[in-house]
Chains A and B, each alone.
Chain A
Amino acid sequence: MSASLARHIATRLGTAIGVLFAAATLAFLLVRLSGDPVKQLLPPDATAAQEATLRHQLGLDQSTLAQYGDYLWGLLRLDLGDSLVYNEPVSQVIADRIPATLELAAGALVLSLLIAIPAGIYAAMRRGRAGDTGVMTAVLLGQSTPPFWIGILLILLFSVQLKALPASGYGTFAHLVLPAVTLSVYSIAVIARLLRSSLIDVLGSDHIRTAKAKGLGPAKVVLAHGLRNASLPTVTVIGLEFGGLLGGAILTEQVFSWPGIGRLTVEAISHRDFPLVQAAVLFFAAAFVIVNLLVDLSYSLLDPRVRDRA
């Protein structure tokens, strides 16, 4: 590994840690800005003594700086406190919900790649023709349609009209189908659009012309020479779009009552379960940072131009 690559990785790691620190601070501040949690948690007729007890239990009788210090120290030990609603450590509450969210995300990702890659290649090869216009119109539709509306339409069609798939719940493959389709629509649109435009760029370059001149068929040219180069920018932007996917997961889980972290977050915000909200915000930020770090590092390892520039 060259020194410049090591420096590049170190910079990226530094940014990732900075983002996580900012996320942690933001989560801490949001909870404090929202007014007195004790007043919000207790009924209006609670006595001053009850308030004082709860304040002490939550550690809110200390100065803000001391609370912030405790909070950061807890973070380092992965101790984020107990959920006010579930009465167990928030890390446990979140860990219980991770499998459901992972299942949904994996289902959506597989579906996205299966549909978006052929669609992007097809549109690029048919540039300017009816097939391209068709794909690009579908892309525009997919990017403009909010996931909860897609989910409702799918429930209406497949659960209410055809009675083919369950409208909510979790556990079997049939339960996964509609939520995964709902969540995948946006990423299908993003990936297909990007792959198309990067392929079009690559297909205009010299080495493709050479490949064609050698007498290779169009499929071989695209698959063997075009796709590999076009996939690099696409992979990078998929990492950046991961945040959109997380937002989509929050909405999708809500539509289908999917017992994942997105729905947990919305519930925690509604119930003002502030330790849980802090942990959920951090979880999402960490997921985003880790995915982008991996994408970024794989990109700089794969592409010598990035490696040298770094």
Chain B
Amino acid sequence: MTRTLIRNRLALVALGVLALLLVAAAFSPLLAPDDPAKQDLLARLKPPAWSDGGSLAHPLGTDQLGRDLLSRVIYGSRVSLLVGIGAALLAGVVGAAAGLFAGFRGGWLDRVLMRFADIQLAFPSLLLALAIVGFLGSGLWNVVLVLGFTGWVSYARVVRSEVLSLRTRDYVTQARATGVTDLTIMRRHLLPNVLPPLATIATLHIAAAIVAEASLSYLGLGVPKETVTWGSMLADGQLYLGTSWWVAVFPGLALMFTSLAINITGDALRDVADPKAYRR
């Protein structure tokens, strides 16, 4: 497995980008040259250091309130990763539980859960998130909750289909015959077997949740304005595109490379878990 991952050079680069991102998020106060909220109205819309009029004091320039863009991009990674990982964890737990019960127990529980999943799939997820956050109010945890609960369906479907084939295996039948409870079978025998596909979906879902959070913040309906996020930086920057491209471009690049790196990692994980799909 490790060898396949190493052979995939693109995936290695992606993992490097992700490592950088994790470091940036974990050590933002140490790495950021400035306080991301500190305004300096005399240094508004300063260009990046390598342009005319730029200075090393603000390597990526400043925004419309004279705030240091590099510091804001670094701090912005915190919200992105927190929301991405939080939403994936929440959706993973809810989806895996639903998939395990639906697949193992079958019957009416299966039918109800899967019909519920169908209905939820029929909703454009951004619209659902938008409507819920719009009405429940913005806030970091509201965004995590909304993206977590709108993302559980793909986990549940995959876990259910895996469980459907696992539950007829000899070791499961034997465990049942010896009186092991359903919960224990699910926890000890089924869950470990569905973890590899779960990891792939979770990785791809982190990227989707990060983009969704940025979308909500771009629309002004995500986390509160005071929190630094790439999406709200992009919305601010769009107003100054005609004169100061850097305000929008740097958070946009950060968002794009993050999403790309996570998606490449997810694809590589899938290739490792399912070599047949890779060769296709």
Contact = CB atoms under 8 A, between A and B. Distances in A.
Contact of B267 (A19, A140, A160, A277): A140
Contacts of B130: 250, 265-266, 269
Interface stretch (A2-10, A54-62, A150-158): A150-158
A244 interface: yes
Contact of B263 (A143, A250, A270, A288): A143
A246 B211 CA distance: 15
A7 to B, nearest CB: 17
A166 interface: no
Interface stretch (A22-30, A91-99, A105-113, A205-213): A22-30
A221 interface: no
Interface string B217-236: 01111000000000000100
A254 B218 contact: yes
A146 B280 CA distance: 27
Nearest to A269: B134
Contact of A30 (B115, B132, B234, B267): B132
A270 B218 contact: no
8 contacts: A23-B122, A30-B135, A34-B135, A34-B136, A34-B137, A156-B249, A243-B121, A243-B125
Given A27-B131, A243-B124, A160 B245 contact: yes
Interface residues of A, number: 49
Interface in B233-261: 234, 237-238, 241-242, 245, 248-249, 252, 255-256, 259-260
A240 B157 CA distance: 15
Contact of B131 (A30, A143, A144, A244): A30
A292 interface: yes
Contacts of A167: 241
Interface string A112-128: 00000000000000000
B75 to A, nearest CB: 19
B182 interface: no
A76 interface: no
A23 B123 contact: yes
A255 interface: yes
Given A144-B259, A269-B134, A288-B124, 16 more contacts: A15-B118, A149-B255, A149-B256, A152-B248, A156-B249, A160-B242, A160-B245, A201-B280, A244-B124, A246-B124, A246-B127, A247-B124, A269-B131, A270-B221, A277-B131, A281-B127
B67 to A, nearest CB: 19
A250 B134 CA distance: 14
A38 interface: no
B215 interface: yes
Interface residues of B, number: 42
A180 to B, nearest CB: 19
A67 interface: no
A30 B123 CA distance: 14
B71 to A, nearest CB: 21
Interface of B: 115, 118-119, 121-127, 130-132, 134-137, 207, 211, 214-215, 218-221, 234, 237-238, 241-242, 245, 248-249, 252, 255-256, 259-260, 263-264, 267, 280
Interface in A238-289: 240, 243-244, 246-247, 250-251, 254-255, 265-266, 269-270, 277, 281, 284-285, 288-289
Contact of A251 (B219, B220, B237): B219
A137 B214 CA distance: 23
5 nearest CB pairs, A to B: A247-B126, A34-B135, A269-B134, A243-B124, A246-B124
A191 to B, nearest CB: 17
A138 to B, nearest CB: 12
